[in-house]
């Protein structure tokens, strides 16, 4: 005859409390993400580092002369503020439960940036003797904007990927705007000519390409449901 005690141990069903205890003992603490404001400061620090690395190659004497022109220094300020506001909006939108209204935060500095750049074009039309850009210089501006924007975009996407954005394409597009605006602000010390309509168009094309690439590619990287496992989810879930 089997031992009753042995039989009881072999048929013992763990209680819910026992299961919870076992699971709790195997858990490892998750490191909490820094606040959106702190992450914005970290990314801005990376932008500042890039700027410091580029200082030896810039024309600082020409920069002082260009920033003495009102529309140029307002455009530079607008680009810088757009980069900070768009990065903060991207980090805020990556937090589940945050309002989509954060996406409007970069709008005022963006208007300042584009408006001041437009005034620079108007000044060029009113003063035909202004220093105009050569095609080679405009190609150089485009290459600079793309070359600086892309690594800043990659860094931002990697920082955003640790969160769980519910609107990945919007978050990634805001990140692209931040990177493109930061590149435009860093371009100022290397910009040897006055603003023109063609020059502004080159900048806009570069910005739109960066924002578009971030929205499409970065959005897929941020979307946790875009992989093979997420493709089997039911619509709306």
pLDDT given at position 87: 96
Global pTM reads 0.75
- The CA-based angle 156-160-161, given to 5 degrees, is 115
Q: Is the pLDDT of residue 83 over 80?
A: yes
Burial of 95 (0-12, 13-18, 19+ CB in 10 A): middle
pLDDT given at position 233: 39
Taking only the tens place, the pLDDT of each residue in 117-144 is 777 555 555 444 445 556 666 777 788 8
Q: From 154, 200, 199, select the one nearest 179 (Cα to Cα).
A: 154
């Amino acid at each position: 005859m089997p031992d009753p005690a042995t039989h009881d141990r072999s048929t013992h069903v763990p209680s819910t409390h026992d299961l919870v205890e076992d699971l709790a003992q195997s858990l490892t603490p998750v490191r909490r993400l820094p606040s959106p404001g702190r992450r914005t400061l970290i990314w801005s620090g990376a932008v500042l580092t890039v700027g410091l690395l580029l200082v030896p190659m810039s024309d600082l004497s020409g920069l002082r002369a260009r920033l003495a022109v009102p529309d140029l220094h307002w455009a530079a300020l607008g680009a810088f503020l757009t980069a900070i506001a768009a990065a903060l909006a991207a980090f805020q939108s990556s937090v589940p439960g945050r309002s989509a209204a954060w996406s409007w935060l970069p709008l005022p500095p963006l208007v300042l940036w584009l408006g001041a750049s437009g005034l620079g074009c108007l000044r060029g039309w009113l003063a035909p003797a202004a220093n105009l850009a050569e095609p080679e210089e405009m190609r150089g501006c485009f290459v600079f904007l793309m070359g600086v924007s892309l690594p800043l975009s990659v860094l931002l996407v990697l920082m955003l990927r640790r969160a769980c954005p519910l609107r990945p394409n919007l978050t990634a597009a805001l990140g692209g705007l931040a990177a493109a605006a930061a590149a435009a602000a860093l371009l100022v010390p290397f910009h040897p000519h006055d603003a023109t309509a063609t020059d502004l168009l080159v900048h806009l094309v570069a910005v739109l390409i960066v924002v578009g690439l971030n929205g499409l590619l970065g959005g897929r990287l941020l979307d946790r449901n875009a992989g093979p496992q997420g493709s089997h989810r039911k619509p709306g879930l």
